[in-house]
Amino acid sequence: MDALAVRYYCVALDLPGHGGSAPMPHEWFTIPRMADLITDVSQHLGLENAVLVGHSMGGAIALEMALREAYRARGLLLINPVIAGPLLSMRGWLGEALVPPLVAAGRALWPVAMRLLGTARHGNRHERTNGKRRRREDLARTNIDSALGTLRAVARYDLRPRLGELRVPTLVLVGEHDSTVSPDQGRLVALSVDGARLEEMPCGHHPYDEIPLPYLKSIRAFLGPLEGIVA
């Protein structure tokens, strides 16, 4: 955002239970509900014709928004997006009967785990990078309801049947070495969305930290032609 803000008006928000936002019970978290929230915020800020950028679960949220007639996106930029696939296998152990005891146990253990996470010394070079430290700090600011709630929201949602409905300029960036979300999920989006472009990058799940310059170059090349599009 720091690099793009020189030319573009950029907005990011903390989802409920993350960052500086207030916590919510785990039952609240669903992809449509998070899309509702971001749509409301976008409309409040007058950003109905914005380019939606979504990383990982944010890709599912951005896709859900773009699929709605009520929201007219100028474009979609999806980075290692989650749409379904292997994550649907989580449904079994994230069923209704198991979630309450997991949350109850987690509420007791999570604060201790997060304190340990925040004070742990990470000696190797990888762990000392700003991105690794930032992600640890971000995780420490959330809670077990948000962690399990968002994981369950992703595991229970499947966007594949609707991808062919999209008619929005779309760029999909996937990390060839992503071990968090299979690159095949982003590849499927690019194959299913008419006119979508796919770029495979030599990185894992966090290209903005791992290869920031090529990452920004791809984003700028995508955003440039969209400036002339009027809703």
> Could you report the per-residue pLDDT of 188-205, keeping only the tens digit for each?
999 999 999 999 999 999
Burial class (CB in 10 A: 0-12, 13-18, 19+), 130: exposed
Q: Which two tokens stand for residue 185?
A: 């999920």
State how far Cα 19 lies from the chain centre.
Answer: 14
Question: Strands of 170-175's sheet, edge to edge?
Answer: 51-55, 75-79, 170-175, 197-201
Can you give the pTM of this predicted structure?
0.84
Q: Is residue 105 over pLDDT 80?
A: no
Backbone torsion region of residue 172, taken as left when φ is above 0, otherwise alpha when ψ lies between -120 and 50, otherwise beta: beta
Contact status, residue 38 vs residue 24, Cβ threshold 8 Å? no
Instruction: Give the residue-averaged pLDDT of 147-167.
Output: 90
Report domain 24-224's class.
Answer: alpha beta
Q: Which two tokens stand for residue 42?
A: 């976008």
In the chain, where the domains are located: 24-224
List pLDDT tens digits, range 110-144: 666 666 655 555 444 444 467 777 777 787 778 78
Give the helix, strand, coil percentages of the chain, each rounded to 5.
Answer: 50, 10, 40
* Local structure of residue 18 (DSSP, 8 states): S
Task: Give 182 or 230, the one with higher predicted confidence.
Answer: 182
Task: Give 166 or 94, the one with higher predicted confidence.
Answer: 166
Average pLDDT, the chain: 84
